[in-house]
Amino acid sequence: MVRYPWKRVELGAYLQELADPLFQWQAWIERKHDNSGEMQGFDFSAHFILDEMTLHENAENCLGIILKTPEEVITLTVLGKALIAVIEAVGKMASDREYLVHPLWKDVVLSARKALDAFCEAEYGFPVTS
């Protein structure tokens, strides 16, 4: 049980996006998915993880708030640091395309997959990407 389950649902959606490079390219760049009204894209994901929840610095403080396990804390801290690294390399005002083609983007995707696995393990009892 967490204090803000709706924020946990939001986190799960962003983890799914960040863990799936094909979806990123199709939805964020090619705009092939009709997701009108949904908050998608690198900016929304990064804002939630880094600015709103500060998971790269304070993930342990989110345990019981939106996170359920120490594994989530660890994996989201790593994901946050991967996001910071690509933002520092590309710049804050870059396009989604510029982030996706940068060599550091693979670290974001891989760490997002690990974070999504930890999230699903805590939520459903099994990982989804392994």
User: By three-state DSSP, how is residue 105 classified?
Assistant: helix
Tell me the two tokens of residue 92: 């804050």
Mean pLDDT value of segment 6-35: 89
**What pLDDT score does 130 carry?**
56
Lowest mean pLDDT segment, chosen from 12-21, 37-46, 62-71, 121-130: 37-46
Indicate the domain borders of the chain: 5-29+40-124
Mean pLDDT value of segment 39-58: 89
Neighbours of 105 (CB within 10 A): 22
Mean pLDDT value of segment 83-98: 96
Q: What percentage of the chain has pLDDT greater than the value 90?
A: 80
Backbone region of residue 110 per phi and psi (left: phi > 0; alpha: psi in -120 to 50; beta: other values): alpha
